[in-house]
Structure 1
């Protein structure tokens, strides 16, 4: 077996196919010569994916990113990256090459990336396929914040429940997050400030989300966090950290005293749950958090009334 492993590693180094593996925290743990060359990675380097994309963008190399604001693009991309078990797409490099990229994610969150050079394919066909990919992304994206929308989040909940039904594993939890007193913010400061707050919230929460989780906006000031393989107690620990992050945020440069908070309801999956039943329990817990004074989370307990927890 050891010889087979060594032989495979040697073949990976020599193949023109790009091969890489990222850990659950999105840190590069392996990249062959072709991958390192395409994305300007030193042999001993193990950068995080966002860091790698950021430095290549500012250097004008690596993946072509057609976005005026890199950080907004990054938030949007991270809201979908690694959420499905497998996806395939086309991407182009600054050096003119065109790649067919696949991403395979296992149950623990490790991602295997394999890319082949398809530059020789007809350019007009590539343009049509890229337009298709852009259209799919737009259909999954919230226009204001750039993160996943209701349709995409609902699909991820369905996937989570379906996987648990198929293999008997623990499905996970869902959290409904809602900004506190958002109507007051809009009424006092204007809808422009409200939009700034929504984008700030999306960016800061997305930065706290694990790659196996999915975070999206479902409408107004309401957001959903999908947490596969995560108990309600574990979800509460993650959200308590998010509560602290948002309490410290000061999104308005001309009003340094301005801050905001959110409330959350968490529900852990039950064996016969549907998307609707899981969401309803989380929404009920959110309502209890609002009644308890806001700026906190409440965990749904099927055997009793929802239990408040303030970080």
Structure 2
């Protein structure tokens, strides 16, 4: 077996095909010579994907990112990256190459990336496929906040409930997050400020989302967090950290004393559940959190909501 692995490694290092592997935290754990060359990675480096993209964007090398707002592009891209078992897309590099890239994701979150140079294809054919990729991205993205939209995030709920590799009775958890007293924010400060709060909330929560999870806006001030392979206890800890981060936020420069909170309901998905019923359980738990005073988590089936884990 060692001989086979050595041969594979040697072949990977010599091939012109770009090959890389990222772990569940989106840190690069392996990249062959072709991949390292295309994205300017030193042999012993293991950067996070976001760090790699940010430094290449600043240096105008590697992947061409046409959005001038890198952070907005990053949120939008990470909202879809690694959320499905397989996807294929095309991208162009500053050096003039056009790549067809595939991402294959294991149940533990590890991702295999393979890219082939398709520069030789006709430019008009590439343009048609790029337009298709942009349209698909738009169809899965919430326009205001840049995170996944209802269609994409609810499809991930279905994926979680259809898992066949679960080792226990819980397939994962669904959290429904709702900004507290949001109507009063709009009434008091106007919808423009309300939009600022929505974007601030999405950005702060997204920064705490694991790559194996999926976070999206399903409408108004309501968001959903899909956590495959996660127990209720783990899910509550994750959302508890989010509560603490949002509590400390001061998003309005002209109103330094303004703060806001959110409430959350969490439910566990089990074999036989369907997305609609699981969402209803989490939504009912959210309602209980609101009735209990807001600014807290309620777990479906529990008697009490908590203002924060450890808080």
The answer, yes or no, to whether TM exceeds 0.5 is yes
1:252 partnered with 2:249: no
Q: Which residue pairs with 1:309 in the alignment?
A: 306
- Structure 1 Cα separation of the partners of residues 84 and 262 of structure 2: 28
Equivalents in 1 of 2:177, 2:284: separation in Å?
A: 12
What's 2:105 paired with?
Answer: 105
- Provide the aligned C-alpha RMSD in A: 1.4
Q: State the partner residue of 2:93.
A: 93
> Which residue number in structure 2 is paired with residue 151 of structure 1?
151
Aligned to 1:58: 58
Task: Work out the CA distance in 2 between the residues paired with 1:89 and 1:306.
Answer: 46
2:305 aligns to what SS in structure 1?
strand
Q: Which runs of 4+ in 1 moved over 3 A?
A: 164-170
- Residue 87 of structure 1 and its aligned partner are, at CA, apart by 0.5
CA contact (8 A) 1:300 1:307 kept: no
- Alignment-derived partner of residue 15 in structure 2: 15
Describe the SS at the equivalent of 1:281.
helix
1:145 CA drift (Å) = 0.3
Shift, 1:307, TM fit = 3.1
**What is the count of residue pairs matched by the alignment?**
308
Q: CA deviation at 1:231?
A: 1.3
Question: Partner residue of 1:24?
Answer: 24
Deviation at 1:164, TM superposition (A): 4.0
Q: Work out the CA distance in 2 between the residues paired with 1:165 and 1:266.
A: 22
Are residues 88 and 33 of structure 1, via their aligned partners in 2, closer, same or farther at CA, if it must alter by over 3 Å?
A: same
The structural deviation recorded for 1:169 is: 6.7
Query: Can you give the 5+ residue segments of structure 2 that lack an aligned partner in the other structure?
Result: none
Seen in structure 2, the aligned counterparts of structure 1 residues 166 and 51 have a Cα distance that, compared at 3 Å, is closer
Match of 1:130 in 2: 130
Distance 1:20 1:290, change over 3 A: same
CA distance in 1, matches of 2:272, 2:304: 22
SS in 1 for 2:61: coil
Other-structure match for 1:264: 264
Structure 1 residue 272, shift from structure 2 partner: 2.1
CA distance in 1 between counterparts of 2:50 and 2:24 reads 13
Contact 1:26 1:49 in 2 (8 A): yes
The aligned residue for residue 115 of structure 2 is 115
> Does the aligned pair in 1 maintain the 2:170–2:268 contact within 8 Å?
no
The TM-score with structure 2 as length reference comes to 0.97
